[in-house]
């Protein structure tokens, strides 16, 4: 990545400070006019951009996935990997800068033949986010996904659990611990990964709250934290056990 700044020295000449891949370089523009110095700055940026933009799609994917592993959840990274896999299969290992809106439209058509529109929408959103990173890294000037149109997704009526639905779900298993997990999920609205990774230090018994947050070994969706009130129907909490009418649910 590269950054550029202009500074005017005591001799009246503007100098260009360039930071390229973490290394700083000074260069005289030879200009005393701010307008002329800005022209040199613009041309230098263009030259640097042209020299670094010809990165292959596969190389960008490799760099992006390395970055993503340190910043996003495993589930998100799996989605990125799947989307990149199908994009690479469709376009071949082209230069990143050669990707065009046409490629994105072809990707959409190709994927709609195999998966649901909502899944295509999620994949396109992931690719668009990845290309925004490429723009930020100055590997692209513009995001080819910027003006892409999402596939039409028919609106569906929301689905709600009725009491009879919940009873049927609970009766579908004889495992007491699994029934308790189901109840806990229904009464808190927590995701599977959030429940599995819930620790007691995230449970505020005094105020009857559960804090869902990322930890060194687990990341919430989009890394966001939220607080959930403990539903009175969860039962009585004693020590490190939440007691249901069915039995007890243990947290680590």
Question: DSSP letter string over 124-138?
Answer: HHHHHHHHHHHHHTT
Ranking 164-168, 192-196, 244-248 by mean pLDDT, the lowest is 244-248
Q: What is the pLDDT of residue 1?
A: 53
Percentage of the residues of the chain whose pLDDT score is greater than 90: 30
Q: Please determine, for residue 126, whether its predicted confidence score (pLDDT) is greater than 80.
A: yes
Q: What is the pLDDT of residue 215?
A: 80
pTM over 0.75: no
Ranking 32-36, 52-56, 170-174 by mean pLDDT, the lowest is 52-56
Q: What is the pLDDT of residue 2?
A: 61
Q: Which of 165, 175, 179 minimizes the C-alpha distance to 235?
A: 179
What is the pLDDT confidence band of residue 22, given thresholds at 50, 70 and 90? low
Question: Contact at 8 Å (CB) between 27 and 37?
Answer: no
Q: Please determine, for residue 241, whether its predicted confidence score (pLDDT) is greater than 70.
A: no
Backbone angles phi, psi at 225, to 5 degrees: -105, 145
Q: Please determine, for residue 237, whether its predicted confidence score (pLDDT) is greater than 70.
A: no
Q: Please determine, for residue 247, whether its predicted confidence score (pLDDT) is greater than 80.
A: no
What is the pLDDT confidence band of residue 240, given thresholds at 50, 70 and 90? very low
* Lateral strand order in the sheet of 226-229: 203-204, 209-212, 226-229
Question: Contact at 8 Å (CB) between 220 and 181?
Answer: no
Q: What is the mean pLDDT of residues 193-222?
A: 83
Q: Please determine, for residue 78, whether its predicted confidence score (pLDDT) is greater than 60.
A: yes
What is the pLDDT confidence band of residue 49, given thresholds at 50, 70 and 90? low
Average pLDDT, the chain: 82
CATH of 2-52, one of 3.30.160, 3.10.450, 3.40.50, 2.40.10: 3.30.160
Question: Contact at 8 Å (CB) between 90 and 103?
Answer: yes
């Amino acid at each position: 990545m590269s950054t550029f700044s202009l500074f005017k020295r005591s001799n009246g000449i503007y100098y260009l400070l360039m930071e390229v891949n973490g290394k700083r370089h000074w260069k005289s523009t030879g200009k005393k006019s701010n307008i002329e110095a800005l022209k040199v700055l613009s041309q230098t940026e263009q030259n640097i951009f042209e020299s670094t933009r010809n990165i292959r799609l596969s190389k960008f994917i490799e760099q992006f996935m390395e970055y993503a592993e340190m910043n996003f959840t495993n589930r998100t990274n799996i989605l990125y990997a799947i989307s990149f896999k199908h994009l690479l299969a469709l376009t071949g290992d082209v230069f990143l800068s050669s990707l065009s809106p046409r490629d994105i439209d072809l990707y959409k058509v190709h994927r709609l033949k195999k998966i649901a529109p909502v899944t295509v929408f999620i994949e396109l959103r992931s690719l668009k986010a990845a290309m925004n990173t490429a723009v930020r890294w100055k590997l692209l000037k513009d995001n080819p996904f910027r003006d892409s149109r999402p596939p039409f997704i028919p609106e569906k009526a929301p689905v709600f659990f009725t009491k009879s639905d919940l009873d049927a779900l609970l009766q579908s298993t004889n495992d007491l611990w699994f029934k308790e997990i189901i109840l806990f999920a229904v009464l808190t609205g927590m995701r599977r990964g959030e429940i599995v990774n819930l620790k007691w230090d995230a449970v505020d018994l005094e105020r009857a709250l559960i804090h869902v947050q990322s930890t060194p070994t687990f990341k919430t969706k989009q890394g966001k934290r939220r607080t959930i009130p403990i539903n009175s129907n969860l039962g009585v909490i004693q020590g490190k056990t939440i007691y249901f009418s069915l039995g007890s649910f243990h947290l680590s």
